[in-house]
Structure 1
Amino acid sequence: MGREVWEVGDAYEAYVGRWSRPVAREFVSWLAVPTGRSWLDVGCGPGALTTAALATAPGRVTGVDRSPGFLAEARSRAGGPRTGFAAGDARALPVPDGRFDVVVSGLCLNFVPEPARAVAEFARVTASGGVAAAYVWDYGDGMAMMRHFWDAAATLDPGSVQFDEGRRRTLCAPGPLAELWSGAGFGAVATTAIEVPTVFADFPDFWRPFLGGQGSAPGYLASLTEPQRTALRELLRSRLPMEPDGSIRLTARAWAVRGTIH
């Protein structure tokens, strides 16, 4: 299976993007930042967190991402007089020291090859008295849609465990996140869980996003033969908790961390 790809806004939206918006709103509410502050959104993706920050804590938000596709999507969704977007790497942010009151990163840090370097950059660009915070999906057992997928995949193909985010994303837990923040020199470090409902209208609504090829599970699915995909689909269909109306009601959990610069 090839590397994970996160570049196409529509495919990301269908898979997990639609669940990222309520998490972003809860995250911004948890931060409770006063209005009028300057924000930096690192790994802004298609703009879910940028949009939440603009709606909840009016100020100026600058988004940085490595993906041209995601930057174009973010400009389309959140572009305006209070936003700006630039290409850049989380490990070498293209901004001066102490520039922002608030530095945030949503659903991105676990994809950075050297997360400690990224968090050190967060500390560098955060103004004195400012806050830096991030959140990541709980791939271990908090993302029910993915957990059901990988458990079914492992039943049919034990080798699939090497692609399971729950086994590979060791950063996605409160302890490792808090250690990263403390190690970068942040004070008053705190973590919290953010959980949102993920309701699928029916099984096709659940299954279709896995066909997009973007992300670990869709990438794994694309590597299978048609009979293998069919077997996995039908095993999932038999295992998922369906309501009488055919809907599938699951939950998604993210872990968030925050800290301050003195």
Structure 2
Amino acid sequence: MAKDLADNSETDRKGPGHVAVIMDGNGRWAQQRGRPRLFGHHAGAKRVREIVNACPDLGVKYLTIFAFSTENWKRTQTEVAGLMRLFRRYIEREARDLLREGVRVRFIGDRMKLDEKLVSLMDNLELLTSGNDRVHLTIALNYGGRDEVTRAAQRLAYEVEQGRLSYKDVDAETLSKFLDTHVLPDPDLVIRTSGEARISNFLLWQSAYAEYEFVDTLWPDFSAGEFGKIVGRYGVRERRFGAVLA
């Protein structure tokens, strides 16, 4: 199946182990069809399963998706409320399949602003799938890169204040241990759909050396086939991490 999805024969050997996706374009997709924006979000949620299922055959062990940003609260109350219902419904409906398919689910972001029922569902899904290792799916919910670094810095400052850590020990490696993603490898590849060419406050620290792909396809139309082609193209890139390779 991997050979059908990817257009590069070396994907398994050189492909990205961690892919992060900014799933953009749900609202426009719906509006193009004369439907409300929430119709597009429901279509986009269905697309997630296809991409998750494609990951093992493409050699992608970690998939991180941007579901709701700290800035998305600025949207209409109707859309925000609808999205929160969609998140609850997604967890309830997909939990058993995710468990059966070997997917481990984690959530990153600030949970303090989310309602108790949703947080409980998130906690339960993380616990339910904690023994899985086929694919690690991380869902960024009420997440913002600057907010994450700010919260990490606050926790780090508290440790220094309490005398458990010296300011002399604070470096990039130490700070990274306080990030939401401290148990995850940094993304190798970040994909944004819908034709927009910006990173929108997503994984700012972690993506310092990631490769980026900006594609015109709206998220509800983003197929496993297109995902595989992008993963395949990654296999021929030369990553220098700031160095000059001989």
Shorter-chain TM-score: what band?
Answer: 0.3 to 0.5
Q: Which has the higher contact order (CA 8 A, sep 6+)?
A: 2
The TM-score, its normalising length taken from structure 1, stands at: 0.31
Higher strand share: 1
The TM-score, its normalising length taken from structure 2, stands at: 0.33
